[in-house]
Structure 1
């Protein structure tokens, strides 16, 4: 008997042992499983989808019939949009099991078959792929899962010649104003949406299980212009935009005289020289300084006549890793300045000229890209900074990725200069120039405003015109959304049925070529408890009040140690903000290998056991409404002129925080683009509902607390003590990173006093077998993502319930969510459950009798 008791005690101690440094163990959720157990939420979906009619707008939210609906979804991408029939049935059943009630069909147009719906001509829908898509949508419908159909995502329209680097990817911005591309978008829409699905009997324009039609993903004329994507635009695109600009001007001004009077001419005499002539080769406070970062190697020499020679010997990892600058400069907003110099290079170079802050946040006050040839040339620029700064600098950058020699003579920067219409610009002749983003500050403020207003009007006409085409010409009955508010101003998108946002916490950064799997990194730090609210503030402060708001792409990227926080945080605060939809990007299996048992690089979710296990709690928090909605705002929207000036002066798509709203306000109450300026909110921040607390101090960081009647949780750093969530005590005892996600979700029952059943989710580190970090900070694995099976950590934690232990039983669950092994519950008046690595699972079931 003594030996048996010792063995039982040892077993219990192993199961409760802190997981810090513990070995990861295999845990693979079957790709085709829909087991009927506590983790199956399929009954939450009304079946079939659309049985009560189309999804409609009811005020500022989404409804089906008279009932409010919130969407929790995933993205299906590329060839995975068209699985075979058997696979489609299994995928639909599994998605419903995890509480998913909508699928966004994305990147259907980006590649030819078998990775997309289009044939090799990139215009004709492939009959076989379309048939499989039809069946998949019908299978989802049977499981109560709606669809969101995307019309343009990644197709490079055939037959159009680009202008080399940097032609915008997927023709972003250009396809907002270039009529032949718009017509090609409409052709695709006609072919897809007027097609009749043989498995539902409906055309997609008439299909109630299609909740949303999305016009053009992550696309916007204003945004693409602002980031410089249209600066080097060639014909016929430049000519088309020029014609539209002239028509806009003629509708506004009688003649060139009226135009000149409205825009004015700013001319001021040149003042004293601002630049120091000396070069500080090793860096200093004045004169020219050479800055090298990221392994870049270069030498700066100065001749007796003051001319500079920059010899670039080895590139760095990003364009700014080699740059020349002069600091100790002061600029005044809207004051003309004139920069001039003479330059040549041993090979053609493109350099970035910037007047910028010499301190965080390093904002640009003026910027322009120029090309330096092999022959001597004089350069002269007049500009007016977008804002003033007493601690600024002039930078010659963009040199960090190349080698060669650059020579500069007679550099001068002086206050004064001429701003306004240039010689030969006449309204009657149609020669008033379109402006690249790097030319804007050489014009008067009035001209800048007119140019941005023109782009605003052109972009608005594209989105509203395409919505009108879908609804009037095609007769589409699903709701229409345009694009995302980080790519297009929220007031423009607010003219459509639904407003959308995208956000990623620590999206992988590619310092060289885009999506170079050998050269990328992530920051690998948690978001929970962060001052400034991370992606949640980015989204919430761009919401357009009065319209449904959804987030069709969200993720915290693999291989971060902190992926388990993604859905619980977004779901909890999305519910607080009263959003209408949340989609994880993406479900995965781009190549159709659904049974791989491993995470496919950055965004795969279907084979990520931590991400998938978190769906259950997220569905309760968001869909079921376990987190109460915060009180709404009634603040007036900023005038359109405020948005125009913000776009004129900054490189970011405007949001309320750029206009002074405190970012942490998104943690306390409902916010939007109308949220007014106000003082910062210090951490911790409690929601006005009292159910969420952001920024509690922990052992090595901060934590978010969830405390609602049916959901409890700790997300973030180990607190070092138990947290009492209104009678439910939660304590993270140990984890590999002193960090974890511990969630208690009441699946059945009224409250935690029972009777009922509770799901405990304990989510920590996850990766593939054999994943290998390449640096000490664990920011990249290169292509070493490992192989099957996925492995996870088992958090050590303690949960106490306000009921006697005699009323409680508990089990560790297997990969299908079935009861695998019963766990001893201790305590008398307060039932206590201790979990740990020894149970080799992510989730547990508690039954309260």
Structure 2
């Protein structure tokens, strides 16, 4: 049966794989790309933010009817009424959720044109009116402002008319201390975003429930229905990017919580211990320390009495540095002097190291040293294997050096045994001179229950992060992780039951994101579906000035094994719907053209149930003519132009699901070990053997409670071909990867295709040289017609690459523009290519709205149409009509 998202069928014809011919001369069909075009390829291309016109790029036909069918879960997928539905959406944030009436209608029509059928309404709870939902007259409370609610109601009603569903969230980013009297002061903890709040405290939870009641039980005056029964609500989120497990494992509890918050959780921890052990004597016996004699110093020349002997500086060209020793250092003792001549963005470019000593798994060690620096710096100290693959052995230490001598010490449990270990200090953070003294690494013993701590007094100390467990016996650590998982499970089970039973919510409900270790798969699987977030090279922020002090790694994902999208695939639980509610390749990454076509293709191959891009807009200035921030799509021409391809590939099912499924078993105890060692779930699962090759070949899923490890594809391969034959991912040249999509109705070459010929059956494509060493994204879809040969078929082609604002203020490494985002208009690279499609066709360059602007010269030959695209047409998309 044809499903709602567009006649989707696993009986899609299997087409030929892409043929690569890098050695062919750069000439095809009698056309040639002009070399001078690639040198002057940039031109303004502003997609109007209020464009709702019809034409070649209008995909509103995919929606077909209003969003008036309740969404339910059946057979591990979403259904709207009796038909399966996939959601292709985008986030709407802050005051973008409260448009004026005319703007609400315009936005609904615009979203439908882009092929969207879901808007995730988020960050409604972060600010007061007019940017948020809460009433400014009642600061400190989560009281809804009626005028703001009316705007949101109208917005949702307009979306519903156009066949667009919404996702609503109970908790995304409440302001600190909102929620009523009696709630503990949270200090520097953010009430949201991985803080761990409000998952254990009943007062927090009751405040959440009250907001949910006010929000979801409210009747929309424009639809006449409460949101608990409104069919246009696709699903409801309990809490965004938050969980106590992740907050503890990543150190947020230690770094940001107030003493009052920590004391509140410690009270719950002591209740847990009393329930489990009943008496202090039983607890003391269970936590009995393991006394081990000091095994002696493991490092050679730890005090530098022999100068630099045993120590070396690892340098990656072109970075330079040197070591020397001084006889009169810390407390008059010898010290080591390390000079770094340059700062590097890559922390591993300059290391102080020593290798060649043994480490035993599950034993406790202590590293200590004294240090200072001419320029204050935060150092990172680690322990790894002494040879490739340089696996981490359990030490993850930070030391904030000042101009004065300080002592640093940390204990850790070794995660593996290694005869030839390596300790390293990463020195590349700054051009600097650093001094080290009395460096030591020793095996030490565990400590049991300290004197004075008793269950009766309720004063048993709580570890604030995993490192605090290093000095305690393994039973102590496992007890605390058990406690975290119990709290996590209770919170999500309680909130799910409240929404379903007390409020009568008729929609699928998710807990939080499974992709970033906020929570447990086992807790989240008790809700109705699994959700994840993923970003390729998310901005990294330095100081508190997030507007100025940030950087990105400006490189393409296609050369990195599809890293972000592939990692998400390792979080799908078998038999449950799987949704990506935030995905993005943030600006100003100049390779962002790869993002939407890649995630849509892999989502379709993996048979996911929804992809929601982040974000459309974070304010109500919907018409802009430049890139305005890291995430916004509203005025980013490359992202807007590639969105129709994503909708057709994913919603319409142009890319078929993989025929076979590889299922990986994962036990609860395994997840708990990941938490204690602060190993991300996807990384831990990947360590079991799953690679990008598996993800781009078969569907990947997890079986909770199982420990079955299947046979994986050999990791040495460098080309993955989906078992449907529709996707080919070629990394045979690690610096020139290419993802090729080849189906009956959609085709694409994503990555470094310049100089290669791609024979995709009904489309033969040869990309030209580009500003980024041959990188481009070229897509083609039959918007109408069963394939490219169908009489009357309308074919939409896009060709995208480099993009930036006018006069963007890049730093020398092209990793940041700080606050210098430049001016309007946004300018784009025109991508050159020679193309062949079957039969006769008229080819047109399209304007910014997608309307034909100029006919392109073409040539008829052997029953096909041959033509050339390039920067002279000053467009990112083209139309072919038969």
* TM-score, L = length of structure 2: 0.85
CA distance in 1 between partners of 2:539 and 2:285 (Å): 49
| Corresponding position: 1:306 with 2:333 | yes
Q: 1:328 to 1:112 in 2, by over 3 A?
A: farther
CA distance in 2 between partners of 1:283 and 1:614 (Å): 60
Residue 175 (structure 2) aligned to one of 153, 156, 167? 156
Q: 1:158 to 1:313 in 2, by over 3 A?
A: farther
After TM superposition, give the deviation of residue 760 of structure 1 in Å.
Answer: 0.9
After TM superposition, give the deviation of residue 99 of structure 1 in Å.
Answer: 0.3
Q: Deviations over 1:415-473 (max 9, x none)?
A: 24234433334344433321132112222233322221211111121112111121122
State whether residues 593 and 800 of structure 2, in contact with CA within 8 Å, keep that contact through their aligned partners in structure 1. yes
Deviates most, 302-311 or 740-749: 302-311
Residue 68 (structure 1) aligned to one of 60, 66, 84? 84
Query: Equivalences for 1:144-183 in 2 at 5 Å?
Result: 144-158=163-177, 172-183=195-206
Q: Deviations over 1:785-833 (max 9, x none)?
A: 2222222122111221232xxx322211111111112223213222212
CA distance in 2 between partners of 1:249 and 1:720 (Å): 66
| Corresponding position: 1:110 with 2:110 | no
Task: Find the residue that maps to 1:488 and give its secondary structure.
Answer: coil
Task: Find the residue that maps to 1:671 and give its secondary structure.
Answer: strand
Task: Find the residue that maps to 1:251 and give its secondary structure.
Answer: helix
Residue 769 (structure 2) aligned to one of 730, 734, 737? 734
Q: 1:300 to 1:451 in 2, by over 3 A?
A: farther
| Corresponding position: 1:811 with 2:839 | no
Deviates most, 259-268 or 208-217: 259-268
Partner of 1:4: none
Deviates most, 31-40 or 285-294: 285-294
| Corresponding position: 1:551 with 2:577 | no
Residue 93 (structure 2) aligned to one of 77, 81, 90? 77
Residue 555 (structure 2) aligned to one of 525, 538, 563? 525
Query: Equivalences for 1:576-615 in 2 at 5 Å?
Result: 576-588=605-617, 590-615=618-643
Q: 1:211 to 1:327 in 2, by over 3 A?
A: same
| Corresponding position: 1:500 with 2:500 | no
Residue 211 (structure 2) aligned to one of 188, 200, 217? 188
Partner of 1:334: 362
Q: Deviations over 1:134-172 (max 9, x none)?
A: 111111111110001122222233266767667786571
State whether residues 45 and 144 of structure 1, in contact with CA within 8 Å, keep that contact through their aligned partners in structure 2. yes
State whether residues 168 and 229 of structure 1, in contact with CA within 8 Å, keep that contact through their aligned partners in structure 2. no
State whether residues 168 and 230 of structure 1, in contact with CA within 8 Å, keep that contact through their aligned partners in structure 2. no
Partner of 1:125: 144
Deviates most, 656-665 or 215-224: 656-665
State whether residues 338 and 380 of structure 1, in contact with CA within 8 Å, keep that contact through their aligned partners in structure 2. yes
CA distance in 2 between partners of 1:351 and 1:180 (Å): 40
After TM superposition, give the deviation of residue 43 of structure 1 in Å.
Answer: 1.4
Task: Find the residue that maps to 2:880 and give its secondary structure.
Answer: strand
After TM superposition, give the deviation of residue 314 of structure 1 in Å.
Answer: 13
State whether residues 662 and 701 of structure 2, in contact with CA within 8 Å, keep that contact through their aligned partners in structure 1. no
Task: Find the residue that maps to 1:184 and give its secondary structure.
Answer: helix
Q: 1:845 to 1:96 in 2, by over 3 A?
A: same
CA distance in 1 between partners of 2:822 and 2:801 (Å): 18
Query: Equivalences for 1:283-302 in 2 at 5 Å?
Result: 286=310
Q: 1:390 to 1:407 in 2, by over 3 A?
A: closer
Partner of 1:846: 880
Q: 1:424 to 1:348 in 2, by over 3 A?
A: farther
Deviates most, 238-247 or 752-761: 238-247
Q: Deviations over 1:182-236 (max 9, x none)?
A: 2222222222112111111111112110111112111111111111111254432
Q: 1:197 to 1:366 in 2, by over 3 A?
A: same
Query: Equivalences for 1:709-748 in 2 at 5 Å?
Result: 709-737=744-772, 738-748=774-784
Partner of 2:244: 221
State whether residues 747 and 758 of structure 1, in contact with CA within 8 Å, keep that contact through their aligned partners in structure 2. yes
CA distance in 1 between partners of 2:721 and 2:82 (Å): 33
State whether residues 149 and 213 of structure 1, in contact with CA within 8 Å, keep that contact through their aligned partners in structure 2. yes
After TM superposition, give the deviation of residue 340 of structure 1 in Å.
Answer: 6.0
After TM superposition, give the deviation of residue 739 of structure 1 in Å.
Answer: 1.3
Task: Find the residue that maps to 2:79 and give its secondary structure.
Answer: strand
CA distance in 1 between partners of 2:90 and 2:424 (Å): 43
Unaligned runs of 5+ in 1: 1-11
Deviates most, 29-38 or 294-303: 294-303
Task: Find the residue that maps to 1:386 and give its secondary structure.
Answer: coil
CA distance in 1 between partners of 2:285 and 2:57 (Å): 69
Q: 1:361 to 1:313 in 2, by over 3 A?
A: closer
* TM-score, L = length of structure 1: 0.88
Residue 21 (structure 1) aligned to one of 16, 19, 39? 39
Task: Find the residue that maps to 1:566 and give its secondary structure.
Answer: helix
Residue 837 (structure 2) aligned to one of 801, 815, 820? 801
Q: 1:733 to 1:240 in 2, by over 3 A?
A: same
State whether residues 340 and 430 of structure 2, in contact with CA within 8 Å, keep that contact through their aligned partners in structure 1. no
State whether residues 323 and 400 of structure 1, in contact with CA within 8 Å, keep that contact through their aligned partners in structure 2. no
Q: Deviations over 1:600-621 (max 9, x none)?
A: 1211111111111111111110
State whether residues 664 and 702 of structure 2, in contact with CA within 8 Å, keep that contact through their aligned partners in structure 1. no
Q: 1:281 to 1:172 in 2, by over 3 A?
A: farther
State whether residues 297 and 441 of structure 2, in contact with CA within 8 Å, keep that contact through their aligned partners in structure 1. yes
Q: 1:581 to 1:424 in 2, by over 3 A?
A: same
| Corresponding position: 1:835 with 2:862 | no
State whether residues 233 and 507 of structure 2, in contact with CA within 8 Å, keep that contact through their aligned partners in structure 1. yes
After TM superposition, give the deviation of residue 355 of structure 1 in Å.
Answer: 4.4
Q: Deviations over 1:365-390 (max 9, x none)?
A: 13466899999999876543223344
CA distance in 1 between partners of 2:398 and 2:737 (Å): 42
Partner of 1:54: 70
CA distance in 1 between partners of 2:379 and 2:259 (Å): 24
After TM superposition, give the deviation of residue 771 of structure 1 in Å.
Answer: 1.8
Task: Find the residue that maps to 2:681 and give its secondary structure.
Answer: coil
State whether residues 286 and 328 of structure 1, in contact with CA within 8 Å, keep that contact through their aligned partners in structure 2. no
| Corresponding position: 1:415 with 2:443 | yes
Unaligned runs of 5+ in 2: 1-29, 704-708
Task: Find the residue that maps to 1:205 and give its secondary structure.
Answer: coil
Partner of 1:457: 486
After TM superposition, give the deviation of residue 577 of structure 1 in Å.
Answer: 0.4
Q: 1:412 to 1:23 in 2, by over 3 A?
A: closer
Q: 1:696 to 1:809 in 2, by over 3 A?
A: farther
Greater relative contact order structure (CA < 8 Å, 6+ sep): 2
State whether residues 556 and 566 of structure 1, in contact with CA within 8 Å, keep that contact through their aligned partners in structure 2. yes
State whether residues 228 and 438 of structure 1, in contact with CA within 8 Å, keep that contact through their aligned partners in structure 2. no
Q: Deviations over 1:555-614 (max 9, x none)?
A: 1121222111111000001000010111111102x3322222111121111111111111
Q: 1:619 to 1:422 in 2, by over 3 A?
A: same
Partner of 1:759: 796
Q: 1:250 to 1:470 in 2, by over 3 A?
A: same
Query: Equivalences for 1:412-811 in 2 at 5 Å?
Result: 412-435=440-463, 436-485=465-514, 486=516, 487-510=518-541, 512-513=542-543, 516-528=546-558, 530-588=559-617, 590-633=618-661, 635=663, 637-654=665-682, 655-674=684-703, 676=710, 678=712, 679-680=714-715, 682-695=717-730, 701-737=736-772, 738-755=774-791, 756-775=793-812, 777-803=813-839, 807-811=840-844
CA distance in 2 between partners of 1:466 and 1:535 (Å): 30
After TM superposition, give the deviation of residue 328 of structure 1 in Å.
Answer: 4.1
CA distance in 2 between partners of 1:698 and 1:400 (Å): 31
Query: Equivalences for 1:254-293 in 2 at 5 Å?
Result: 254-277=278-301, 286=310
